[in-house]
Amino acid sequence: MMNSYAARPHYSRTPEQLIGKDYAEMMDSAWTKEMMDYVHMCLENDKRVIFLLISEGHRVRSLLIPVREDPSDPQASAVLIMSEEICADVYEQIISNPEKNEIIAHSMHVDLGPRLNLLTKRELEVLALMRQGLRSKEIANELCRSESTILRHRESIGSKLEMHDRCEIIGLANAAVLQIEDAHRTRLKIEPGRVAS
């Protein structure tokens, strides 16, 4: 049964409006296919899958757990999916200390939310490195660009986000636990009203 958190990414639909809906009715088809691939992987390997993604600009961990009523009957199998927003510390713990009975998977897609989606790939890379505490010179070295180019990107980030306080900008990046790799993932946006009432 879908809870209120699971309903949140679906633009204020209540759990009651979502119960009984097919997953494909709620999500972009690319995300649906990806999630179903991990559901099959979970069942085939009889292992938990931790699926990490960004939804509406927030880092989310979806935990897929195989449930088997009768191990000899594949039809008597299901996958329990629990999702929650996570912070940077939890993300780092998942990445650095995976359990041996778990598969860690990163979504190939991101829903950056309305603000982060305004940024270019390079600006997202710069912001991800800012989030890690790197200064402009260090970011320039990391991305093989001049420091003046990085300063222009930082100025553009603030302008596009309409934020000029560094801490506020970093806060937005922290909500997504933004990584350099996220800049290169396929961008998706769940449209309001995708689920019929």
Q: Quick one: pLDDT at residue 83?
A: 87
Same domain for 122 and 38: no
Single out the residue in 88, 111, 134 at which a domain terminates: 111
Same domain for 72 and 16: yes
Asked if the model's pLDDT at residue 67 lies above 60, the reply is yes
CB 122 within 8 A of CB 144: no
CB atoms within 10 A of CB 142: 16
Band of residue 193 on the pLDDT scale cut at 50, 70, 90? very low
Band of residue 10 on the pLDDT scale cut at 50, 70, 90? very low
Single out the residue in 65, 83, 111 at which a domain terminates: 111
Same domain for 61 and 45: yes
Nearest C-alpha neighbor of 196 from the set 26, 15, 2, 35: 26
Please indicate whether residue 192 or residue 96 has the higher confidence score (pLDDT).
Answer: 96
Single out the residue in 111, 134, 166 at which a domain terminates: 111
Pairing relation of β-strands 77-85 and 58-68? antiparallel
Q: Quick one: pLDDT at residue 48?
A: 92
Output the average pLDDT for the chain: 84
Q: Quick one: pLDDT at residue 22?
A: 56
Asked if the model's pLDDT at residue 58 lies above 50, the reply is yes
CATH of the domain at 167: 1.10.10.10
Average pLDDT rounded to a whole number, residues 112-140: 96
- pLDDT digit string (tens) for 19-46? 665 555 555 577 788 888 988 898 888 8
Same domain for 170 and 103: no
CATH of the domain at 93: 3.30.450
Same domain for 122 and 106: no
